[in-house]
A and B are shown apart, each in its own frame.
Chain A
C-alpha cells in the first residue's frame, strides 16, 4: 500500500494492464506521457513501451482524429487507449463512439471488435466556465449507448482497478474521469488488481434508506449520510461505478431491505443515471418509495451564484433524504 494520486493510479493501471496483456497498444495521449508521485516510481509510458508494445501519439487537440484513429487501430487488431483531457468537445466523439465503436461488433456478427478505452474528462464543477465547459450530462449520453460499457470511478482505488479492467476488456469502454477527483490521494496497493466492470459497491451500510450515486455525486452523498448518522439515521450508500451495464441486483437487494431509494446525480434531471436506477428498482421491488435528486435541466451557468446553486451539494442530499424519510 502506498499513497498515490488519482492520476498516478490511472497511469499505474494502464501500465500494469499493458504489461499483463503484452500486446501492441496505441495510446493517444492528450497530456504528458509520464506521471510521478512522491514515494512512487515515475511512470513513463514512452520510455517503457516506445517501439515495443506501445506507440505514443501525443498530438494537438483533435478529438475526431483521436477517436476515429483509435477506432481504426482497434478494428485492425491494435488495442487503443484514448485519453481525452478536454471535456467540452465530448460531443465530437459521441458519434464515433455511439454509431461506430458501439455498433460495428454487432453489425459484423462479432468480427469487428473495438477494444478501446475512451478516457473522457468531464469537468462538471468548473466554475465560471458557462454551458459548454462545465458539462456533466455526458454520463447520461454514454450510458445510453448499446455496445459501449460506461464506467465512472469515485475513489483512487477504483480509478486504477477499473482502468485495468477497461484496458483488458475487448469491448469499447467509456471511462468518465470527473474533473474534481484528480486532486484526491489514497493508500492503494502497488500490485496489479482489477475492479470488475458491471459491479456496484456498498460504500456504507444502513437499514433506513438507500442512496445510490456515482462519480461526482458520491462526495455529497457520503457527506450527507454522515450527517444523517449523527441523527441516528443509517443510510446505505451505493456507488454504481459502472453505469452500463448496470448492477441492478445490488441496488434492488438494498431497497428490499430499506424500502426507500434516493438517487443522487450531478447530471441534469431528465434521464440522469438515477432515472434508470429507479426504473429498474420500481419493477423489482414493490411498494418502495423513491426520490430522484439531480441538477435542474438547465445548462451550467457562468455566474458563480447560479452555478453553485445548480450543482448538487450535501445539503441537497440531506434535505431530500429527510423528505423521503418523512
Chain B
C-alpha cells in the first residue's frame, strides 16, 4: 500500500537540540522517521507559512518525551494482555478491537492536547482512552466487564470511557464522532473558553455524511475542532482502495476549506507536531484542522484471529494469515513500529539508554499486571444493575418478572 510518507526524513530545524549535536540529532531523527507533517492548506493557499509543521517536539521536556514512551508501553501491554488472555483462556470475559501499531498516533496527539481538552474516540478505543489519561485499573476492569470498570461493566472494548479524562464517550458506530466532536467544539466556543476538541476517525469516517457535515460546518463556524483520521488502510477487510477512489481524506477536507495535514502515524513526534500546530491554531481562533495519519493495525479488525503471541512484552503482537491482507504487508509495518521508533529516537538523543528504556518496560509491565490483578479481583456487576444508567439517578422497572407492575 502506498502509505509511506514521502520526505519523511526531510527534517529541517534551525537550532541544535538540547544536549545534542545537530549532527546526532539529524541522524536520530532520520532513523526514527520523525518530523514530517506535510501540511497543505487546502483552498487557503495564502497560508503558505503553514505549509510545514514546525518541530514543536523540540519544546517537550525529557520527562515528557519519556512519558510518551511509557504511555505507548501502557497501551501495548494492556492490549497484549487482553489479546493473550482472549487467545489462551477459554471463556475469557474480555475481547478487543486492538490498536497495536497505532499507539504512537494516540500518544502523539494526546501529548499535544491539554488534559482538559475534549476527545471523542470510536470502537477502536483502547489507545485513545489510555493516551488521554483514563485510569488504567478502571480500563482493565472495564474490558473484562467488571463492576469497577470505568463504564461500570456496561461498555467493554468499544466504549472505554472516563469523563474525568475529558472523553466525550467512545462510540461504536462509524461516522457520528465527527459531528459529535464538532458539536462539542461549538459548545466550547459558545462558552468562550479555549478548549479544543479532537475526534478520532478511521478509514471510512470522512466519507460518511457525518464526516462531511463535521468538516463543512466546523469551517463554517470556525470551530476549535481537530479531526484526526487514523488511516490504517482497512475498513474491516476492505482495503482503502476498495472503499474509495479519493486518495486522501485531506482532499475532501480541503474542498470545504479545512486546514489539513498528512503525517506519519508511526512517529509519535510527527503526530505531536501536526496536532500541536492544529491545537494552537484552534486555540487562537483559526479554526479546524483535519490530520490524516498513516498507520497500520497489526491485528485483525476485531479479536485475535491469526495471533499467536505469548503475552505482553514477548515480541511484537500481530495477526498473520488473514485472507484480506498479505503477511508481508504486516511485516513491512512491523519494521516501522511506533514504540521502536520512539525508543530509538530517545536513545539517539541521549535522553535515556537502552538499559533505562528496559527498566521502563519492566516498570510499565508491572503496572499493567497490577491493573489486571485489580480487574480480576473486581466483582462481576449485579445483574439487576442493568436497570441503572438508563436515566439519570433512576432505576427503571424490570419487565421480565411476572410480579412487575404492568404500568
Contact = CB atoms under 8 A, between A and B. Distances in A.
Given A301-B153, A304-B93, A61 B204 contact: yes
A316 B400 contact: yes
A88 B399 contact: no
Interface in B336-395: 380-387, 390
Contact of B386 (A62, A292, A298, A319): A298
B178 to A, nearest CB: 14
B124 interface: no
A291 B403 CA distance: 11
B323 interface: no
A296 B236 contact: no
Interface residues of A, number: 39
Given A294-B399, A298-B396, A312-B400, A130 B172 contact: yes
Contacts of A307: 386
Interface string A57-72: 0001110100000000
Interface in B156-177: 156, 158-159, 171-174
A132 B172 CA distance: 7
A308 B400 CA distance: 12
B399 A306 contact: no
A269 B93 CA distance: 28
A304 B153 CA distance: 9
A213 B149 CA distance: 36
B390 A297 contact: yes
B173 A88 contact: yes
A70 B99 CA distance: 35
A89 B242 CA distance: 20
A295 B399 contact: yes
Given A296-B397, A323-B402, A61 B235 contact: yes
Contacts of B95: 128
B251 interface: no
A156 B19 CA distance: 73
Interface string B265-291: 000000000000000000000000000
A235 B397 CA distance: 27
Given A298-B390, A306-B381, A64 B156 contact: no
A324 B208 CA distance: 49
B387 A298 contact: yes
Nearest to B243: A60
B242 A60 contact: yes
A303 B154 CA distance: 5
A128 B156 contact: yes
Contacts of B238: 60-61
A83 to B, nearest CB: 16
B385 A306 contact: yes
B406 interface: yes
A113 B17 CA distance: 70
A316 B174 CA distance: 35
Contact of A305 (B158, B381, B397): B381
Given A61-B235, A292-B406, A308-B383, A301 B400 contact: no
B155 interface: yes
Interface string A241-280: 0000000000000000000000000000100000000000
A272 B93 CA distance: 30
Given A61-B204, A89-B173, A133-B172, A128 B242 contact: no
B321 interface: no
Contacts of B171: 132
A309 B235 contact: no
Contacts of A305: 380-383
A62 B206 CA distance: 12
B339 to A, nearest CB: 29
Interface string A88-105: 110000000000000000
A309 B156 contact: no
Given A302-B155, A320-B402, A322-B402, A64 B209 contact: yes
A299 B238 CA distance: 30
A297 B399 contact: yes
A269 B243 contact: no
A302 B156 contact: yes
Contacts of A301: 153-154, 381, 386
Nearest to A299: B390
A266 to B, nearest CB: 11
Contacts of B320: none
B398 interface: yes
A293 interface: yes
A310 interface: yes
B145 A319 contact: no
B390 to A, nearest CB: 5
B291 to A, nearest CB: 23
A52 to B, nearest CB: 25
B145 A309 contact: no
B110 interface: no
Contacts of B158: 129-130, 132-133
B151 interface: yes
Given A295-B399, A303-B154, A319-B401, 16 more contacts: A64-B209, A88-B173, A89-B174, A129-B158, A130-B155, A131-B154, A132-B158, A132-B173, A301-B154, A301-B381, A302-B156, A303-B145, A303-B380, A309-B383, A309-B400, A319-B402
Interface of B: 93, 95, 145-146, 151, 153-156, 158-159, 171-174, 204, 208-209, 235-236, 238, 242-243, 380-387, 390, 396-403, 406
26 contacts: A60-B204, A61-B236, A61-B238, A64-B209, A89-B173, A128-B93, A128-B145, A128-B156, A130-B172, A131-B172, A132-B172, A133-B172, A293-B399, A295-B400, A297-B396, A301-B154, A301-B381, A302-B151, A303-B145, A303-B386, A304-B380, A308-B383, A309-B386, A309-B400, A310-B400, A316-B400
